[in-house]
Structure 1
Amino acid sequence: MSWAAHEFENYLLQKEFTRDGWIRPSFLAIVLGTFGPDLFTKAFVYSSDEPARFHRAWPGLGFTHSFLFGVVFAVLVLWLTKSRSWAIGIVIGQWGHVLTDMGDSAGVMPFFPFSIEPVTIGLWTHSAIEGRYGDAAAYYSGPGALWDFGWMVVTLIFAWKALTAGYFRQVIVPADPRAWGWLHRKLRLPERALLLVYRGIFFYALGRMISWFLFARFDAKTPFQPVWGGPLYVEGADLSDASFVEVCIRTAIGGAAFFAALYLAWRLFIRRLWDLGTNPPSMLNLRSDVEEGAPLFAGAETSTSRSTP
């Protein structure tokens, strides 16, 4: 499992999937999709007798780390909200999470239920058997530390604009005006507070990465072994005894069956829900094209101070 990469990748995914002529994905939906697989599992993983199998295999909760889980989640959201930007965002975030978690030794079942074969590149160890603190120490004592740092660097290089106030005004809010407008109205959050919420996920990941790395170095005092399959001082979970060829064959069959089923589901009912859905609605009080310094929402106060007569 990744400890900070999932948060960093939200910004890169949102930026890369925002294209002219495409439906802009909701950033908040991407975040929910990214958090989704662990949201339903992390609370129970460390108390399990076999945490890796419980987390990633079947029987267990491994189906949360499958592409099908993201599709079902997105279709449910589309049915309830009729928001295409939220449905797209859920799929992008959840599929991104699945692909990222292929990096650890336990792997994921991307094409469940058509294949329950774990797919992994084994870059770092899945060490949940060590408990929460032991797992964190192991992750930041091996390639996982470089993985998170790499995602941060890639985000800052290729998606730095996504962290700017201008991007928030011109792209993020217009892609999901209802959600941001609700936060503005119901919680009385001014634009600066909304921007803080938006950027906060990045800084949460940064703080998480730094604090756990320091914990591993100075509290747990585990050896830093950033080698492939590391760290070497702990045995990572391996959920499959299949050969490389067997994994490829089972995954190929499962993938073909999954996409065939997805196409059939699209023809039978998903397309109908999509046609009934709507693109991000315009808001009468939304002003995404205002000059810098002007309020994002009409009627918002530009200053908390009042002039005296």
Structure 2
Amino acid sequence: MSWAAHEFENYFIQKHIGTKASFLGVVIGAQLPDMFTKAFVYAADDAAAFHRGWPGVGFSHSLLFGVVFAVAILGITKSRAWALGVLIGHWAHVLTDVADTAGVMLFFPFSMEPLTISMWKHAAVEGRYGDAAAYYSSLGGVWDLFWLAVTLIFAWRTLTASYFRDVVIPADPRVWGWIHRTFRLPERALLLLYQGLMFYGIGRMVAWFLYARFDAKTPFQPSWGGPEYIAGNDISDSGWVEVLIRTGIGGVLFVAFMWAGWRLFGRRLWQRGYDVPAAVRGPGIHAILELPSSKRRTVGAEPV
């Protein structure tokens, strides 16, 4: 699991999706795998197996779990931007979590074999504080720092007011407009809300790193598969050949399932959805607020 990289990745993703997907959808999608399960993980007898395996809640870290949520959102809201955002955010989280020793059941239920590169140890067995200390004593903390650097170097424009005004709001004017009207937030406050996820990630990373160094006083061991003071917790005993075979079979079945689902109902559901018409997009919150109230209610209501 990652403690801050998921927050930083959202802005890097935003750079590439532009107005095609909702940033807020990406954020929610990135939180989905652990949103309803993390509290139970720390209380489990075998935290790693419960978190990423089956039986347990490991299905939340599968690609299909994100697809199910995205399809549900598309069916309920008809918003392609939100469905796509949730799917991208969820898949980004899942692929990042391949890095710890527990891995993820990427193609569940077609394969229950966890896929992992064992970059750092999954340490939920140590409890929340012990987990954080172990993470920031391993390459996990380096991973967070890496994604912070990548975002600030290659996606820094996504943090600017002009980008927020010209790209983020026009991609999702209904929700940003609702937040503005409901909570009476000016555009500057909305910008701070948008940027706040970055500051939250930085604060979380710094605070937990300092906790690990000066309170928990755990040894800093940024080596592959560290930290060494945590016992190994790989939830699979399979060799790499067996893992590749099972994962490959699961991947083929997953692709076949997705193709069949698209042909049977996915295409029609997507066609019934809508994108925000370019004609009603504008700079900043004015993309929605300057419309007459009757048009405001119908923005995106017609399929395109």
TM-score category, normalised to shorter length:
over 0.9
Q: Give the fraction of aligned pairs with identical amino acids, expressed as a percent.
A: 62
Q: 1:47 to 1:283 in 2, by over 3 A?
A: farther
Q: Which has the higher helix share?
A: 2
Structure 2 distance, partners of 1:107, 1:5, is 16
Q: Are residues 1:182 and 2:181 paired?
A: no
TM-score calculated relative to the size of structure 1:
0.91
Contact 2:133 2:218 in 1 (8 A): yes
Q: CA deviation at 1:283?
A: 8.4
Q: CA deviation at 1:43?
A: 1.6
Aligned length, in residue pairs: 291
The one-letter amino acid paired with 1:223 is P
Q: Which residue of 2 aligns with 1:7?
A: 7
Q: CA deviation at 1:40?
A: 1.7
Q: Are residues 1:288 and 2:283 paired?
A: yes
Q: Are residues 1:63 and 2:59 paired?
A: yes
Q: Secondary structure at the match of 1:141?
A: coil
The one-letter amino acid paired with 1:148 is D
Q: Secondary structure at the match of 1:59?
A: coil
For residue 269 of structure 2, the aligned residue among 267, 273, 288 is 273
Deviations 1:113-167 (A, max 9, x none): 0000000000000000001000000000010110000000001111100000000
The 5 Å alignment of 1:1-309 reads: 1-18=1-18, 24-281=20-277, 287-288=282-283, 297-298=289-290
The one-letter amino acid paired with 1:44 is F
Q: CA deviation at 1:249?
A: 0.4
Query: Which segments of 5 or more consecutive residues in structure 2 lack a partner in the other structure?
Result: 292-304
Structure 2 distance, partners of 1:283, 1:193, is 26
Structure 2 distance, partners of 1:218, 1:34, is 30
Q: Secondary structure at the match of 2:104?
A: coil
Query: Which segments of 5 or more consecutive residues in structure 1 lack a partner in the other structure?
Result: 300-309
The one-letter amino acid paired with 1:10 is N
Q: Secondary structure at the match of 2:238?
A: coil
Q: CA deviation at 1:17?
A: 2.5
Point out 4+ residue stretches in structure 1 off by more than 4 angstroms.
281-284, 294-297
Contact 2:105 2:113 in 1 (8 A): yes
Q: CA deviation at 1:295?
A: 10
Contact 1:177 1:282 in 2 (8 A): no
Q: CA deviation at 1:50?
A: 1.0
The one-letter amino acid paired with 2:6 is H
Q: 1:278 to 1:90 in 2, by over 3 A?
A: same
Structure 2 distance, partners of 1:229, 1:48, is 23
TM-score calculated relative to the size of structure 2:
0.92
